[in-house]
Amino acid sequence: MSGLIGKKIGMTSIFDESGKNIPCTVIQAGPCVVTQVRTDEVDGYSSIQLGFDDKTEKSTTKAAKGHAKKAGTAVKTKVVEFQGFDQDLKLGDTVSVDHFEEGEFVDVSGISKGKGFQGVVKRHGFAGVGQATHGQHNRLRAPGSIGAASYPARVFKGMKMAGRMGGENVKVLNLRVLKVMTDKNILLVKGCVPGHNNSYVIIQK
């Protein structure tokens, strides 16, 4: 799927034609530079590699500098491959936010916010054990039984338990594009997208 690399700016809300308030996410989508073109003859598949957001000189390797020099651009912080572009793109070409149109639907993926170590109520939506009264001690948010004792005498793999939450790659499907601001490379999509503010997201058609 063709798309762009962007940066999540934050959330806001706008009013539609009927006066309904719609929550939306503001994304800086592009401009992205074509840093590599893969072809069936050379690589066995065809795709376009896009780069976004310039990287500082001191944190750049020589290999990355040489890779960017071929495209005639600065070294990019985020590099992602896309497939399915209609236009014929070459090294050094720029893809901007006008790749999207208002009213169409996109998929947005990113790294979700890290929540650290969390219990089963927050992490998996457990209801907790028992009641708050009638002799209940201190087990309101406990998971309860996690398996039998004598048989199978072990805890099955994949058991929902407490642990680290968040920090995973999450994709949200079918978000409607509410507004495309080409002069500022801003994209407004309905609803929320994964990640904290200023985190990188991938927008796909």
Does the structure show a pLDDT above 90 at 158? yes
Type of residue found at 182 = T
Does the structure show a pLDDT above 90 at 159? yes
Instruction: Express each pLDDT in 46-69 by its tens digit.
Output: 899 999 988 888 888 888 888 888
Do 203 and 2 touch, CB atoms closer than 8 A? Answer: no
**Residue 124 pLDDT level (bands cut at 50, 70, 90):** very high
If you ran DSSP here, which 8-state letter would residue 114 be given? P
Instruction: Express each pLDDT in 67-82 by its tens digit.
Output: 888 888 888 889 999 9
Cα separation values, 43 from 46, 48, 68, 84, Å: 7, 12, 19, 16
If you ran DSSP here, which 8-state letter would residue 99 be given? G
Taking alpha carbons only, the member of 83, 84, 74 closest to residue 33 is 74
Instruction: Express each pLDDT in 174-197 by its tens digit.
Output: 999 999 998 999 999 999 999 999
- Looking at residue 164, its pLDDT comes to 96
Q: How far apart are CA 149 and CA 160, in angstroms?
A: 18
The structural domains of the chain, with segments of one domain joined by +, span 3-116+167-204, 117-165
Q: Which CATH number fits domain 3-116+167-204: 2.40.30.10, 3.30.1330.10, 3.40.50.10790, 2.40.40.20?
A: 2.40.30.10
Indicate the pTM of the whole model.
0.84
Residues paired with residue 12 on neighbouring β-strands, in sequence order: 24
